[in-house]
Chains A and B, each alone.
Chain A
């Protein structure tokens, strides 16, 4: 796991991780953290309904990958998808509006927390059936390959996904067809309420399966945005040059429960505290200070983030609820729901 020796080694590198990129990665992580925390608070106030799966603690993965993506690259997310959606530049107001079932929401309340989609931002959907989107990402990558387009399809999923059939079908398919797709396993150590090690034949649920598909075994520190960024760039370069897919396992930890209904009492004592010491945002802040980025600049990012979250919250509270007349729209391409004449 990351430590100060690792911090020093990355500081010496001269690559795409220049100061501006690092500030961007910090800003993304802070904004995701603040927005997710606000979503949680709004639950407690009864303003966010249904369910919600937060990425608190996992922000470095969303930031590192989105920071490495080009415009036009496509993201495929799970129900734990707020972070990846925000990281691609979707406004907070759109995300919170969807969670709050308002007319200003990203899908006007028709999708909800688990299905955030913003095609204009390359967010091709958040999928709530485990594993479903890995083959779908393959299809988007197939289109890029077929049309000679250079975009990469990036598919995020949890450790629990590695035990469902679609994961294995998609990996084999992507390798056989040499598709420009990058599979990203966010291993937060728990499949819902159960420790992943109790239900998986290998230690690293994604990386230890890579060899079965002729893929390189890649494990990165998912709480280190720089390390995530570098792994992402390498995989994207490989995909863009026609060398096929990658599977990257990012080790991380979920600060909260699986969903809002879960107080996460199954965690052994001390585990959360250990991981809080490795909080990706704290670590990254310290690194930026050591790299010479001033306290004032970081404070400004943090204050701007909170202002954005506050403004988005107020806009959503003021927005009207989803209107009744969209109940039956967009079932079919003609805009309606007619199944008969």
Chain B
């Protein structure tokens, strides 16, 4: 057992898979010699050499296109898109090419690859380097989408993503890179499509993802101590596949559902969950589904404004308390 940062967990997760399978290769901008702009891939070049860990030009289309072509013909590439905002400049590969090749070819073409990308706010980088765009990926048939919130999940879900036969978009949260967690020694392999109840509770189900998980847990402490409200916090972890057995099972016990989302409100992942709850758990609910989200705005750079935009523990507490009339 060792304490690792989320950042160190990224390198460990990639190294674990590269050690296991010589077909796993890694490419991206500044990922090799520089060890990544977030220092999340330090040491991989030294451990695996320049043939397997490769720096690319600033060419996001070339990065994802090359990853796809390599995956189609037998490699298992991990491609880094430095900031998830940059998915917009290579979105053809995310939306049209990588996810649809299997279907269009009637199963002839396979695309087992991982696109890992730095997602989310908190660094005061402004509107083009701070967005939470997991919903951009979630809406595309053919992709799988994960967003870990802890070091152990980074390693386990990275292993699951690399070993998965489908393309996986792997959202790392930039504001979690410095956070720490206990990680056991040896190989760690998780599975895609499994949500995790990170705090059991009886009064309400609260779904959260990535940076919103620690914030929801912080809110849970306050709600319990100061308001006598006992919430169940679920780390959704995997948007596709979506673990509705765990989520709707929880709703069946608590009878209230909240989502805490960093993505802007319109068409955020929680909207789909609210819709599913309305379809499949309507008679379990004692009140409306409540979404706690970033407003429908571009993200500002200034500290105070960015802090106002994102859901915080106090905002989560306030919203849940008022919704439950407590």
Q: Are B59 and A340 in contact (CB under 8 A)?
A: no
A201-215 interface with B by 8 A CB criterion: none
Q: Which residues of B contact A272 (CB under 8 A)?
A: none
Partner of B107, one of A132, A143, A335: A335
**Contacts known (A115-B104, A140-B69); A132 close to B25, Cβ less than 8 A:** no
Q: Which residues of A contact B109 (CB under 8 A)?
A: 117, 119, 124-125
B45-91 interface with A by 8 A CB criterion: 51, 54, 56-57, 59, 61-75, 77
Q: Are B142 and A169 in contact (CB under 8 A)?
A: no
**Contacts known (A117-B104, A330-B102, A331-B141); A169 close to B62, Cβ less than 8 A:** yes
Partner of A139, one of B71, B103, B193: B71
Q: Size of chain B's interface in residues, with CB distance under 8 A?
A: 50
Expressed in whole angstroms, the Cα–Cα distance for A221 and B102 within the complex equals: 36
Q: Is B325 on the interface with A (CB-CB < 8 A)?
A: no
Q: Is B97 on the interface with A (CB-CB < 8 A)?
A: yes
Q: Is B298 on the interface with A (CB-CB < 8 A)?
A: no
Expressed in whole angstroms, the Cα–Cα distance for A131 and B97 within the complex equals: 11
Q: Is B326 on the interface with A (CB-CB < 8 A)?
A: no
Q: Are B66 and A135 in contact (CB under 8 A)?
A: yes
Q: Are A341 and B242 in contact (CB under 8 A)?
A: yes
Q: Is A333 on the interface with B (CB-CB < 8 A)?
A: yes
Partner of A136, one of B51, B69, B102, B243: B69
Q: Are A337 and B244 in contact (CB under 8 A)?
A: no
Q: Is B289 on the interface with A (CB-CB < 8 A)?
A: no
**Contacts known (A74-B73, A173-B56, A335-B107); A341 close to B66, Cβ less than 8 A:** no
Q: Are B61 and A169 in contact (CB under 8 A)?
A: yes
Q: Which residues of B contact A169 (CB under 8 A)?
A: 57, 59, 61-62, 65
Partner of B75, one of A127, A146, A153: A146
Q: Which residues of A contact B93 (CB under 8 A)?
A: 132, 135
Q: Which residues of A contact B256 (CB under 8 A)?
A: none
Q: Are A125 and B101 in contact (CB under 8 A)?
A: yes
Q: Is B255 on the interface with A (CB-CB < 8 A)?
A: no
Write the chain A residue with the least CB distance to B138: A339
Report B93-117 CB contacts with A as 1/0, cut-off 8 Å. 1001100011111111110100000
Write the chain B residue with the least CB distance to A170: B62
Q: Which residues of B contact A120 (CB under 8 A)?
A: 108
B70 to chain A, nearest CB (A): 4
Q: Are A129 and B62 in contact (CB under 8 A)?
A: no
Q: Are B106 and A326 in contact (CB under 8 A)?
A: yes
Partner of A138, one of B69, B75, B101, B241: B69
Q: Are A132 and B245 in contact (CB under 8 A)?
A: no
Q: Are A107 and B108 in contact (CB under 8 A)?
A: yes
Q: Are A142 and B166 in contact (CB under 8 A)?
A: no
Q: Are B103 and A124 in contact (CB under 8 A)?
A: no
Q: Is B44 on the interface with A (CB-CB < 8 A)?
A: no
Q: Is A110 on the interface with B (CB-CB < 8 A)?
A: yes
| Most chain A beta-carbon contacts within 10 A, residue among B71, B103, B245 | B103
Q: Size of chain A's interface in residues, with CB distance under 8 A?
A: 52
B205 to chain A, nearest CB (A): 17
Q: Is A321 on the interface with B (CB-CB < 8 A)?
A: no
Write the chain B residue with the least CB distance to A138: B66
Expressed in whole angstroms, the Cα–Cα distance for A153 and B103 within the complex equals: 22
B51 to chain A, nearest CB (A): 7
Q: Are B240 and A339 in contact (CB under 8 A)?
A: yes
Expressed in whole angstroms, the Cα–Cα distance for A139 and B112 within the complex equals: 13
Q: Which residues of B contact A297 (CB under 8 A)?
A: none
Q: Which residues of B contact A177 (CB under 8 A)?
A: 54
Instruction: Please report the number of residue pairs spanning A and B whose Cβ atoms sit closer than 8 angstroms.
Output: 162
Q: Is A99 on the interface with B (CB-CB < 8 A)?
A: no
**Contacts known (A118-B108, A139-B71, A331-B103); A340 close to B242, Cβ less than 8 A:** yes
A166-207 interface with B by 8 A CB criterion: 166, 169-170, 172-173, 176-177
Q: Is A60 on the interface with B (CB-CB < 8 A)?
A: no
Partner of B61, one of A125, A165, A335: A165
Expressed in whole angstroms, the Cα–Cα distance for A85 and B295 within the complex equals: 49
Q: Are B73 and A124 in contact (CB under 8 A)?
A: yes
Q: Which residues of B contact A143 (CB under 8 A)?
A: 69-70, 73-75
Write the chain B residue with the least CB distance to A338: B241
Partner of B105, one of A115, A131, A134, A139: A115
Q: Are A119 and B142 in contact (CB under 8 A)?
A: no
A35 to chain B, nearest CB (A): 20
| Most chain B beta-carbon contacts within 10 A, residue among A74, A137, A329, A330 | A330
B3-56 interface with A by 8 A CB criterion: 25, 51, 54, 56
Q: Which residues of A contact B241 (CB under 8 A)?
A: 338-341
Write the chain A residue with the least CB distance to B194: A341
Expressed in whole angstroms, the Cα–Cα distance for A144 and B69 within the complex equals: 11
Expressed in whole angstroms, the Cα–Cα distance for A146 and B49 within the complex equals: 12
Q: Is B182 on the interface with A (CB-CB < 8 A)?
A: no
Report A246-279 CB contacts with B as 1/0, cut-off 8 Å. 0000000000000000000000000000000000
A89 to chain B, nearest CB (A): 15
Q: Is A91 on the interface with B (CB-CB < 8 A)?
A: no
A95-117 interface with B by 8 A CB criterion: 106-108, 110-111, 115, 117
Q: Is B165 on the interface with A (CB-CB < 8 A)?
A: yes
Please list 7 pairs of residues, one from A and one from B, whose beta carbons are closer than 8 Å in the complex, sorted by A's number: A111-B104, A111-B105, A124-B69, A125-B104, A132-B61, A141-B69, A169-B61
**Interface residues, chain A, CB within 8 Å of chain B?**
74, 106-108, 110-111, 115, 117-120, 124-125, 127, 129, 131-144, 146-147, 153, 165-166, 169-170, 172-173, 176-177, 326, 329-333, 335, 337-341
**Interface residues, chain B, CB within 8 Å of chain A?**
25, 51, 54, 56-57, 59, 61-75, 77, 92-93, 96-97, 101-110, 112, 141-142, 144, 164-166, 193, 240-245
